[in-house]
Structure 1
Amino acid sequence: MGMGSDPFNAWFLAWIALIPLWIWLINQQKFQIRQLLPPLTFAVGYYGVTIFWITGIHPMTWMGVPWLSSLLIAIFCWLFIIAWGSFFVLLWSLGMIFLTRSLSHPLSRVLLGVALWCTVETLVSHTPLHWPTFALTQSPYNLPILQWLSVSGTTTVTAAIVAVNGLLAEAILINHRQNRSRFLGGLTQVSLGLLVGLHLIGWLLYLQPLETPQENALRVGIIQGNVPNTIKLYPEGWRKALEGYTTGYIGLAEAGAEAILTPETALPFQWEEQVRGNSDFYQAILQKNVPVWLGAFGKKEGRSTNSLYSLNGEAETLARFDKVKLVPLGEYIPFEDILGNVVDRLSPLDSQFAHGSPDQTFITPWGKAAVGICYESAYGEHFRRQVARGGEFILVPSNDDHYSAAMPAQHHALDVMRAIENDRAMVRATNTGYSAIVDPRGNTLWLSDLDEYETHLSTIYRRDTQTLYVRWGNWLNWVLLGLGGVVLVRSKLKSRQN
């Protein structure tokens, strides 16, 4: 399953990767601890491969972290994420072992297995540590199946993947128990029909034309500053950032941009300090009068915020969006009273930003926009809430420097999913790549190179449509849970009657 995402991009493997584990779990008659070894192996392979890019944070000597401490931090982060994901895979596996014993019909087991896995993914999505889902394995390449994201978010695609795996696994079990060599039995046909049917319907949804009324057109510029993290927080990086973003802003303004987006903390300062200091970037806004969405620091409750500022043509602040989903250990210390001293010994950095409020509204001269700063791309509900409140396009300022190419590629894949879920154009500006323009169908209209200074000008279209997902959220998970509960209750009643 881990090979479905970048750097392998073998998305088709996701439709069969769960079969061996499913067969193993269904065949377990009596629970023993050793039965959890295959689920654990699956989890380690899935999360270990998908999130291996996290080890790219080493070395952090440029931040003042000793080399050995940096290595230990990188290894700890990778192993902790694997352990975190493994816990939820084991939860699903235990549910399959104990709850499917009373279910004799394979379709009932498939329904329950789908409901359990989708519930597990939903639970993880409400925690501070969330990144991969089964749906991510299909992005950005399998656009027909990704159109189903607009129905109920990632649950729709995840449910389809688990259902196809479960049906194929049950077909193999039936053939084995009946000692048949014929593979194309009833359940196999159902699974293939489901797979083909979902893709055909998704393809039809993908082919639906997008309305592009000129009154909703917006010429947006992107600046990819390419200021490496190794110098970003030091005088050399400050000078390079001010020069690069000022030059890029002026160039895009003169090329006809109506608004310009910069990456996450493009200017690593408090924006108010830039105003008071009459910086070159501030002066450029006053001269060109083009609104800009600027990544910089803010202040809240005595702590810094990772913020995106909406500045009008007079450099006045229309709105400020503070990052809500902060990176654990990177931007804040969870369980600070317990872990604070340990983290302080390993790293001299102050990793405590203030969380933004979930109900923020980002106002622009053209109406509301939905904003996700970097890590927030992993949280579909974060964007859904903002679009439901009137967001007409999506802005994602990010900084993916210091990792392998797999990380920005996966990050871009997440943003493709968010665009489809909400039926909104996506504008993505990153420090070192990949910056992108994505349309509401998930098409990547422009993608930057990595580790290059780039500017780009493109037209997006504001939209006010509302998908089923925007209106009702993750409703499918509740339906699946309800159906799974009905199946279990019926099975219990039937066993009592017998």
Structure 2
Amino acid sequence: MGLAPAPNNFWWLAWIGLVPLWLALFKFKNSLPQTILIASIWGFGFYGLALFWITGIHPMSWMGVPWLASLLIAIFCWLFITCWGTALVVTWSVLMTIITKKFNDLFQSQNISNSCLKVLLGVTLWCSLEALWSYTPLWWTSLASTQSPNNLIILQLGKISGASAITIGIVAVNGFLAEAILIRKRITNLYSKNLFFFLPFGIFFICHLFGFWLYQYPINLDNQQAIKVGIIQGNIPNEIKLSPTGWRKAIEGYTTGYQRLAKQKVDIVLTPETALPFYWENIINNQTSFAQAVLKEKIPAWVGAFGKEGNSYTNSLFTLTGTGKTYSQYDKFKLVPLGEYIPFESVLGKIIDRLSPLDAHLVPGKSNQIFDTPFGRAIAGICYESAFSEHFRRQAKAGGEYIITASNNAHYSSAMPAQHHALDVMRAIETDRWAARATNTGYSAIVDPRGHTLWRSQINQYAIYADTIYRRKTKTLYVKWGDWLTIVLLGLSTIWLCKKNR
């Protein structure tokens, strides 16, 4: 399962990767410690491999962290986030084991009906736990994300109920495959045996058939207002980003890129997260070369910089008009745990220093922000926020007509930008919106509402690019109702379990 997400992209492994865990849990009579051990091994294999890119923060010599301390911090971060994901698998395994033991007489009689109920419970619990985990500060890899960006057909199901619609299919196929193996010797009727054996393949086919129907539905550009967006990928390594050399390179690179894009007659320019690593008021008040270029060319820009919040600061995206005025400001809401703040800082802060490069305290933006621009209302996300689908759904429901995301991505190995891009592909599909993403070192991209990547930059290269995205006002079922399928599954599971237990 750990090989399924980007950049490996063996997405098909996710449709069989849960089978060994299912068999290990239900083929043998395991004790609670054995169940926890089995689930921990599987969970650590999945999340540990998928999230291994986080160790790329080492070495942090550019932040003044000694080599050994940097290594220990990187290992701690990797173990911390891996264990948090593994806890989901352990919780699911323990709950499934407890339920099947509580209703022992029901599940001891292994037949098609009881196996279907067990799969329904497995799907419901997994989706419920992923929904719960997605509201915690540490969230990145869902089962659904294993399909992005290559399996665009199945990703269209995200329009129905977000990532849970895809997770339902993956867990159901795995569960029925495992149950077919478990009860194959107990079913004597040849018709029933063959029917149950082909059930997971039927579910796989139906999910993809429905996804294909959504996928081939044309993107209507009639009456859709076009925005020609210019993207600048500054490619400034973190090692120099917060030094005088990095500051000069940022000003020069983004000013030059802006001027070149202005000559291409773009409507607006998008820069990455903290593209200009200064306080915003210093950028516009001190008349930097970038601000002067905007005044000259009269082309507005979305600029990543720091905002002030009392004695603290925000990681923000600003809309700068062609007249040099600040039109709007979006402050990053989902801060990176262990990177931009320390969870339980009063305790853990004594063990590890805050990794933020600035002395001031970084504070999150408000959860209900609206980002209006000269080109209508945008759906904004900065870096880590791409993992939180509800963050984008809320803005789309509030009238957001297209997606813009700004990221740094220079901290880690190339696996992280690939997964980050995959998450933005999912967000574009779920909300049925065009997306423009600018990053410091890659991957910057243009994505259409079906998830097609129309352009993607090279990693660790300076790049500018201009392309057209379109404003859309459609609202998918997911945007309207959120993760409603998980709620339906909870109801069905409860009713069926109560009925069976009579």
TM-score between both structures, scaled by the size of structure 2:
0.95
* SS of corresponding position for 1:2: coil
2:375 matches 1:363: no
* SS of corresponding position for 2:451: coil
* SS of corresponding position for 1:381: helix
Q: Is the 8 A contact 2:340 2:355 kept in 1?
A: no
Q: Is the 8 A contact 2:187 2:193 kept in 1?
A: no
5 Å matches for 1:283-362? 283-344=292-353, 350=359, 352-362=361-371
* SS of corresponding position for 1:424: coil
Cα deviation, residue 189, structure 1:
1.6
Indicate the residue corresponding to 1:82 in structure 2: 82
Structure 2 distance, partners of 1:12, 1:134, is 12
Indicate the residue corresponding to 1:235 in structure 2: 244
Q: Is the 8 A contact 1:55 1:78 kept in 2?
A: yes
Indicate the residue corresponding to 1:25 in structure 2: 25
Summarize the Cα distance change of 1:448–1:346 in structure 2 as closer, same or farther, 3 Å threshold.
closer
Q: Is the 8 A contact 2:341 2:356 kept in 1?
A: no
Indicate the residue corresponding to 1:121 in structure 2: 130
Structure 2 distance, partners of 1:48, 1:301, is 39
Q: Deviations over 1:236-271 (max 9, x none)?
A: 000000000000001101111001100000000011
Q: Which moved more, 1:232-241 or 1:176-185?
A: 176-185
Summarize the Cα distance change of 1:203–1:40 in structure 2 as closer, same or farther, 3 Å threshold.
same
Summarize the Cα distance change of 1:327–1:345 in structure 2 as closer, same or farther, 3 Å threshold.
closer
Q: Is the 8 A contact 1:310 1:362 kept in 2?
A: no
Q: Percent identity?
A: 55
Q: Is the 8 A contact 2:39 2:90 kept in 1?
A: yes
Structure 2 distance, partners of 1:399, 1:345, is 18
2:457 matches 1:448: yes
Structure 2 distance, partners of 1:178, 1:477, is 31
Summarize the Cα distance change of 1:291–1:348 in structure 2 as closer, same or farther, 3 Å threshold.
closer
Q: Is the 8 A contact 1:53 1:406 kept in 2?
A: yes
* SS of corresponding position for 2:353: helix
Q: Is the 8 A contact 2:270 2:303 kept in 1?
A: yes
Aligned amino acid, residue 208 of structure 1: Y
5 Å matches for 1:454-473? 454-473=463-482
Structure 1 distance, partners of 2:371, 2:402, is 11
Q: Is the 8 A contact 1:152 1:474 kept in 2?
A: yes
Summarize the Cα distance change of 1:184–1:30 in structure 2 as closer, same or farther, 3 Å threshold.
closer
5 Å matches for 1:37-52? 37-52=37-52
Structure 2 distance, partners of 1:146, 1:377, is 16
Aligned amino acid, residue 32 of structure 2: Q
Q: Is the 8 A contact 1:329 1:351 kept in 2?
A: no
Indicate the residue corresponding to 1:419 in structure 2: 428
> How many aligned residue pairs are there?
493
Q: Deviations over 1:33-63 (max 9, x none)?
A: 1232221110010001000000000000111
Structure 2 distance, partners of 1:194, 1:165, is 10
Summarize the Cα distance change of 1:30–1:489 in structure 2 as closer, same or farther, 3 Å threshold.
farther
* SS of corresponding position for 2:378: strand
Indicate the residue corresponding to 1:409 in structure 2: 418
Indicate the residue corresponding to 1:138 in structure 2: 147
Q: Is the 8 A contact 1:19 1:169 kept in 2?
A: yes
Gaps of 5+ in 1: none
Indicate the residue corresponding to 1:65 in structure 2: 65
Cα deviation, residue 6, structure 1:
2.1
Q: Is the 8 A contact 2:386 2:420 kept in 1?
A: yes
Structure 2 distance, partners of 1:87, 1:344, is 25
Summarize the Cα distance change of 1:98–1:223 in structure 2 as closer, same or farther, 3 Å threshold.
same
Of 225, 232, 251, the residue aligned with 1:216 is: 225
Q: Deviations over 1:428-486 (max 9, x none)?
A: 00000000000000000000001111000001110000000000011111111111111
Q: Which moved more, 1:464-473 or 1:24-33?
A: 24-33
Cα deviation, residue 199, structure 1:
0.6
5 Å matches for 1:176-215? 176-177=185-186, 185-213=194-222
Indicate the residue corresponding to 2:53 in structure 1: 53
2:189 matches 1:165: no
Structure 1 distance, partners of 2:492, 2:24, is 24
Indicate the residue corresponding to 1:109 in structure 2: 118
Indicate the residue corresponding to 2:111 in structure 1: none
Indicate the residue corresponding to 1:7 in structure 2: 7
Q: Is the 8 A contact 1:26 1:96 kept in 2?
A: no
Q: Deviations over 1:179-227 (max 9, x none)?
A: 9999972222221111111111211211111111365111010000011
Summarize the Cα distance change of 1:351–1:167 in structure 2 as closer, same or farther, 3 Å threshold.
farther
Summarize the Cα distance change of 1:93–1:252 in structure 2 as closer, same or farther, 3 Å threshold.
same
Indicate the residue corresponding to 1:267 in structure 2: 276
Indicate the residue corresponding to 1:154 in structure 2: 163
Cα deviation, residue 26, structure 1:
2.0
Structure 2 distance, partners of 1:262, 1:405, is 20
Aligned amino acid, residue 334 of structure 1: P
Structure 2 distance, partners of 1:110, 1:398, is 39
Q: Is the 8 A contact 2:311 2:360 kept in 1?
A: no
Cα deviation, residue 490, structure 1:
2.0
* SS of corresponding position for 1:457: strand
Q: Is the 8 A contact 2:35 2:93 kept in 1?
A: no
Aligned amino acid, residue 95 of structure 1: L
Aligned amino acid, residue 94 of structure 1: V
Of 384, 387, 393, the residue aligned with 1:378 is: 387
* SS of corresponding position for 1:100: helix
Q: Is the 8 A contact 1:69 1:346 kept in 2?
A: no
Q: Which moved more, 1:24-33 or 1:63-72?
A: 24-33
Q: Deviations over 1:70-99 (max 9, x none)?
A: 000000011111211111111100111111
Q: Is the 8 A contact 1:332 1:351 kept in 2?
A: no
Aligned amino acid, residue 364 of structure 1: T
Structure 1 distance, partners of 2:357, 2:251, is 26
Summarize the Cα distance change of 1:113–1:312 in structure 2 as closer, same or farther, 3 Å threshold.
same
Cα deviation, residue 172, structure 1:
0.7
Cα deviation, residue 340, structure 1:
2.1
* SS of corresponding position for 1:76: helix
Structure 1 distance, partners of 2:316, 2:182, is 53
Q: Which moved more, 1:57-66 or 1:168-177?
A: 168-177
